Chain A
Amino acid sequence: MTTTEKTDVLIVGSGFGGAITAYHLAAGGARVTVLERGPWLESRDFEHDFLLGSSYTRAFDFTVGDGMSVLGGNCVGGGSMVYFAALPRAPRFVFERQGSIGRRMWPSSITRDSLDPWYDRVAEAMGVRTQDWSDVSYAGGLWGAACDHSGRTANPVPVAIDKDACVNCNWMMAGCRFDAKKSLVFNYLPAATAHGATIRPLHEVQRLERLDDGGYRVHYNVVDGEDYRVTAGSGAIDAKIVVLAAGAGATPVILQRSEADLGTMPHAVGRYFSGNGERLNTAVVDEDRVRDVLGLARDDERAYEAFQIGKGPCVANWDRLDPSLPEYSRYSLEQLYFPPALGTILAQVPGAPSPSWFGADKKEMLRRWKSWLIVFTMSEDDNEGVFGPPPPTGNAVRLSQQMLGRGPLSYRPTANTQHGWASADAEVKEILEKDGIARVAPWTNDLVGAYTVHPLASCRIGDDPHTSALDDRHELRGHPGIFVTDGSSVPGALTVNPAMTIAALAERSVPGIVEAARARGLDVTYGAPAPDGATSGSGNVLTTAGRRSS
C-alpha cells in the first residue's frame, strides 16, 4: 500500500492567488506545496516564435466556451508570465457596485481605502511604477494624441516593467526573455521556495476529498510536458489547509468535480462569472492623417506604422471612470498590442460588408497591419457566466496538444452588458474616426463568443451567502479550511486590469488563512516583509492585519 504524501498547506495554481499565499505561509513556517498544471519555464525558454510548441503555446490556455472564451496563463507564475504587467488599482466606485444583485456586491469590510495598504504592499513587491510619456510606445502615444484631439484626457498606465531592460519587442505574451517584465518568478515565487515551499509543475489538480481529521486529500494528474492531452500518472496529497488559486476559469470546476465527496457547494460556485466587460476594437489608421491631424511623426518618412513595436498597453483613457455615471456606463479605454495568431482572426474589417473576419477584404486589412491600433475596453458586465457540468479532467477538453480546449462555461450577455460594450465601442469609434484618423471595428463575438483575458468572480467573496461562495476572509462557505484567493474571488468587473486587485486581495487574505491554520494546530505566524525584504508598506499592513484578528 502506498502512503499518501502530506503537507500543511496545499496550494492549487501558481499565479497571483497561489504565489502570494505560498510565500506568506511558507515564510510563516508552514510546509507549503504548490501544484501547477503548466510547465516551469525560465527566461532562456522564452522564444520570439509562433511555432506550435514554442513557449507561446506552452505557456497559454485558451478555453472556448459557449458565448465566452477565456485566455489565461498555463505555467509556473500563471498569468503573470503572459500578462502585459499593466497594474492600475481599481477606482473607488467599483467597490460600491451593486451589479445584478441590487445591493453592494463587495463585502462591507472592503473599500478602496481599506484595500490601499494591500495595494501598496503588492506595488512594493512587484516593483510597480508610474510611466511617463517617454516610456510610452508609438501606439500608446497615438492613442493619447487621439484622445487629446477629441478633448479627452489620457494616462500612461502604471506597470511592473524595468524600463532599462525592456527592448520593446512586444513578445511579452510569450514570456519575457529579457527579464524586464516583473512576473511572480522574480519575487513571490522564489521567496516562497527560499522558505521551503515546493512547486510541482505539470501537476493538474482534479478534485478534493474530505478526510476524517477535517483536512483534505487533493487528487492530481501528472500532465505530459509536450502533449497536454496525455496523462502521465496521478496521485494525491493530504493537507490541513487547501488554497485554490487555479484562476477564475478553473477553480470552480475543481470544486464542482469535488461536490460528490465534499457535499453541496455554495450556490455561487461556478456562477456569476464576469469577463471584466472586455471588448477589443481594431483600428486601421490613416498614416497621412496621423501626421496632418495629430502632428505625429517617427521620422521623415513614417508617421506611425508601429503597431508591432512596444510593450502591451501603455496609455488609457479614464474619463468614463466617473463615479457619478450610472452603473454599466463606466469603462476604461486602453491601447493594447495583441499579436497575430491569437488576435488577428477576430478583427473585422471596418466598414466592410459581412463576412468581415475572413476573405479578400480581411487579407487587404492584414496588409496594413503595421498601421493597426488596438483599443481594449473594460466595462461593467452583469456577471452572467455559468459553468456547466465539469469535463473529465482539468477545466476543459483539450483539443490541440497545447493551448486550445473546449470548456463548460456559458455566457449570455444581458442588455446591461451589451449596453456597456456598445457604449465603449461607440466612444472608441468617435475618438479614432474623428477627422479621418482611422477606421475602427470591434472584434466579432460570433466565432468564439465574447473573449476575456481577465476572468473573474466565478467563486466570489461577499456578505450574502446566496450570491457569494466565500466569506470576506476567502473561506469557502460550509467547507472550513478551503480558501480561494485567485481572480474567481473578485466579486465583479473592475473597469481596469485586474491583477493588482487580485494580488491585493490575496495579500489581504493571508492573515485569515494563518488564523485558520493555527486553529488546525499548525505552528504558523504572519508578518513576513515583502519578498525582497522591503518594508515600507508593511507597517500599514501589519496594523490592518492586527485590527482584523483582534
Chain B
Amino acid sequence: MPTGAPDEGSIETRTLEAFADTVLPGAKRAPDDTSIAGRSHDAGAVEAGALELLRTPATGLTSGLPEFAELLNDHAAGYAAEHGLSAADGEPPFVALAFEDRTALLRNLTSPGHPEKEFWVMLALFCNMAYDSAAHTSTPEAIAAGHPGLRAMGFAAPDADGLLRFEEYSYGRPLARLHPDTTPSGSPA
C-alpha cells in the first residue's frame, strides 16, 4: 500500500522524487501525485526512502541537492523545448515530463562522455541504495518495519541479535568433475 503524502514538498523535493522514481519507479501515493509517475504497482525508490538517504550528511551530497534539482530542471526544460513538449502549469520541468522522457533524459545524463555524468550516476546510485539496501536505516530495523525494497527482494530477516545465520546452505553432494590438473593444495596447476 503506498504511504505518505505526495507533492507537499518544495520544488527541490518534487524534482528529486521524480528523479528517484525514474531510477526505480513506484506507485502513485494519491491520484494527484505528480512526482511519482506511477509506472509500477508497488513501492519504488521514493517510498523506500530515497529522499531520506539523499539528505543523510554521510552521503556527501546533501549540500549540493538544491543545485542538482535546479540543474535537472534546466536540463528538463531544454529537453522539453527540443522535443516540442508543452510545460505543465506550476510543475517543475522534470516533474512535468512523462516517465519515458524522464528515462530518456536520465539515460542521456549518465551516458559516457556527458560532462556531468559522475554527479548523476552518484545521485542514481544513492536512489538505488535506498531501495536495495535502505542505507539510511539500520538493516534489522528496516526489515522489521517492512522496508519495501528489502521486502520485495526477499532479504532474509536476522536473528534477535541482528545477525544473519543460515543453517541450511548446501546441496551437499558432488555436482561436477574436478579439473584434472588440480594440485593437492586445491589450486590450478
A residues with CB within 8 A of B: 47-54, 57, 64, 88-92, 119, 123, 128-131, 133-138, 141, 144-145, 147-148, 152-158, 167-171, 177, 229, 296, 298, 305-306, 308-310, 315, 318-319, 321, 332, 339-341, 344-345, 354-355, 358-360, 362-363, 366-367, 369-370, 398-402, 404, 406, 446-448, 496, 500
Contacts and interface: CB of A to CB of B under 8 A. Distances in A.
Nearest to A402: B58
Contacts of A306: 169
B103 A344 contact: no
B176 A152 contact: yes
Contacts of A363: 24-25, 40, 44, 131
A398 B61 CA distance: 12
Interface in B55-81: 56-61
Interface string B69-113: 000000000000000000000000000000000010011001110
B30 interface: no
A52 B170 CA distance: 31
Contact of B169 (A138, A296, A319, A400): A138
Interface of B: 22-25, 39-40, 44, 56-61, 103, 106-107, 110-112, 118, 121-122, 124-125, 128-129, 131-140, 149, 152-156, 158, 162-166, 168-183, 185-189
B138 A51 contact: yes
B154 A141 contact: no
Contacts of B183: 89
24 contacts: A48-B139, A50-B134, A53-B58, A91-B188, A128-B185, A135-B170, A148-B176, A154-B175, A158-B186, A167-B165, A168-B166, A308-B155, A308-B166, A321-B179, A344-B133, A369-B153, A369-B155, A399-B61, A400-B58, A406-B118, A446-B112, A447-B125, A496-B187, A500-B187
A308 B156 contact: yes
Contacts of A47: 162
Give 10 nearest A-B pairs by CB, closest first: A130-B186, A400-B60, A154-B176, A148-B176, A158-B186, A341-B133, A50-B133, A89-B187, A168-B169, A340-B132
Contacts of B152: 366-367
Indicate the member of A177, A309, A370, A398 with the most B CB atoms within 10 Å: A309
Contact of B175 (A133, A398, A446, A500): A133
Contacts of B125: 345, 447
Contacts of A369: 153-155
Contacts of A128: 185
Contacts, number: 222
B139 A155 contact: no
A113 to B, nearest CB: 11
Contacts of A362: 24
B188 A367 contact: no
A67 to B, nearest CB: 9
B170 A49 contact: no
Nearest to A133: B174
Given A366-B153, A401-B60, 4 more contacts: A49-B162, A141-B171, A145-B171, A229-B60
B52 to A, nearest CB: 11
B163 A401 contact: no
A86 to B, nearest CB: 10
A121 to B, nearest CB: 12
Contacts of A309: 166, 168-169
A153 B60 contact: no
Contact of A359 (B23, B121, B153): B23
B186 A155 contact: yes
Given A308-B155, A309-B169, A144 B179 contact: no
Given A153-B176, A155-B186, A359-B23, A399 B58 contact: no
B188 A89 contact: yes
B176 A145 contact: yes
B25 A340 contact: no
Contacts of A123: 185
A341 B106 contact: no
Contacts of A148: 175-177
Contact of A137 (B56, B162, B169, B186): B169
B134 A358 contact: no
Nearest to B155: A308
A406 B60 CA distance: 13
A275 to B, nearest CB: 17
A64 B118 contact: yes
Indicate the member of B40, B61, B125 with the most A CB atoms within 10 Å: B125
Contact of A48 (B59, B158, B169): B158
A454 B174 CA distance: 29
B178 A153 contact: yes
A92 B25 contact: no
Contacts of A51: 134-139
Given A360-B25, A402-B58, A155 B179 contact: yes
A93 to B, nearest CB: 9
A412 B171 CA distance: 42
B105 to A, nearest CB: 11
A171 B54 CA distance: 25
Indicate the member of B111, B152, B169, B181 with the most A CB atoms within 10 Å: B169
A292 B105 CA distance: 43
A128 B111 CA distance: 43
Contacts of A177: 163
Given A130-B186, A345-B128, A171 B164 contact: yes
A147 B148 CA distance: 35
B8 to A, nearest CB: 25
Given A308-B156, A446-B110, A446-B111, A49 B129 contact: no
Given A148-B175, A148-B177, A355-B107, A49 B138 contact: yes
Given A133-B172, A133-B173, A167 B111 contact: no
Given A308-B155, A340-B133, A360 B186 contact: no
B189 A92 contact: yes
Given A88-B186, A91-B188, A340-B133, A399 B60 contact: yes
B121 A169 contact: no
Contact of B128 (A49, A54, A358, A398): A358
B185 A50 contact: no
A153 B180 contact: yes
B23 to A, nearest CB: 5
Contacts of B129: 50, 340-341, 345
B44 A91 contact: no
B166 A360 contact: no
A152 B177 CA distance: 8
